[in-house]
Structure 1
Amino acid sequence: MLQGFKQFIMKGNVLDLAVAVIIGAAFSQIVNALVQDVLMPLIAAIFQSPNFDSFALVTINGNDVKFGVLLTAIVNFLLVAAAVYFAIVLPMNTMIERRNRRLGIVPEDAPADPQVQLLTEIRDSLAAGRPQA
């Protein structure tokens, strides 16, 4: 029983997942600092408010409906998504693209060499039993 547990724990997927969770938790502090301490103060300077919590306050039957809280959450989400995309995803994709070009790796969706395309068409035509025009 313990041997099976040891094998489960030592599988690559479990270790990769554990590392990803730990790195993700640590990295979330960086993203949150960027959003809360850099981007939100810039937005606060534009709108003259540190957040949107007080916006669109409506009272219905004595209950406050705070649309501003939802608006703040949406803005925070969009800022986090933008920060992750522009600070991590975009530079990583650029780095991978440059490495692939340096190594001569062609993406699958890139147009192939015209000669290779012509030979592929000829092969497909012969396989289908049609004469090539």
Structure 2
Amino acid sequence: MLQEFKKFLMRGNVVDLAVAVVIGTAFKAVIDSLVNNVILALIGGLFGKPSFNDALILSSGTKVYLRFGAFLTDVVSFLIIGAALFVIVRSFEALQARRRSGAVAEEDTPTPSDEAVILGEIRDLLQAQSAR
């Protein structure tokens, strides 16, 4: 049973998934830092505050606070993270497509061996002689 579990863990899909989770976690930290330290700082420069978290709508006569600012900050973060992931995934897919098309082109046109080149020359000479 332990051997089967080891085989399961060492399958390509499980290892790829583990690597993807680790890289995704690290990438999330980078994007969160970009959003919180750069983008929201720029927004703060434009609007006077680095985030909209303190923006509230107070209802008249009750103690109900609608914190639309926190929601707006999360929406901005989501859009930036989504755009960054979109760019990275598109770039990766384009790179894979280029590699695949290059690999297919190499497989379709193998380099002829020396013997094949010589035989081709002999064939061409024989065809030229028979055409006279």
- Corresponding letter in the other structure for 1:70: F
Residues 1:72 and 1:16: Cα distance change in structure 2 (over 3 Å): same
Q: Considering only aligned residues, what root-mean-square deviation do their CA atoms show, in Å? A: 2.5
The Cα shift of 1:68 comes to: 1.3
Distance 1:83 1:40, change over 3 A: farther
Counterpart position of 1:81: 82
Once residues 84 and 40 of structure 1 are traced to their aligned partners in structure 2, the CA distance between those partners, rounded to angstroms, is: 18
TM-score by length of 1: 0.63
Aligned to 1:23: 23
Q: In 1, distance between residues paired with 2:8 and 2:103? A: 38
What amino acid is the match of 2:89? V
TM-score by length of 2: 0.64
Q: Letter of the aligned partner of 1:39 in structure 2?
A: I
- Identify unmatched segments of 5+ residues in structure 1: 106-133
Task: Name the one with the larger helix percent.
Answer: 2
Structure 1 residue 71 corresponds to structure 2 residue 72: yes
Which ranges of 4 or more aligned residues in structure 1 deviate by more than 4 Å?
96-101
Note closer, same or farther for the CA distance 1:104–1:2 as it changes in structure 2 (3 Å cut).
closer
Count of matched residue positions in the alignment of Structure 1 and Structure 2: 104
Aligned CA distance change for structure 1 residues 6 and 95 (closer, same or farther; 3 Å) = closer
Structure 2: which 5+ runs fail to align? 105-132
Percent identity over the alignment? 40
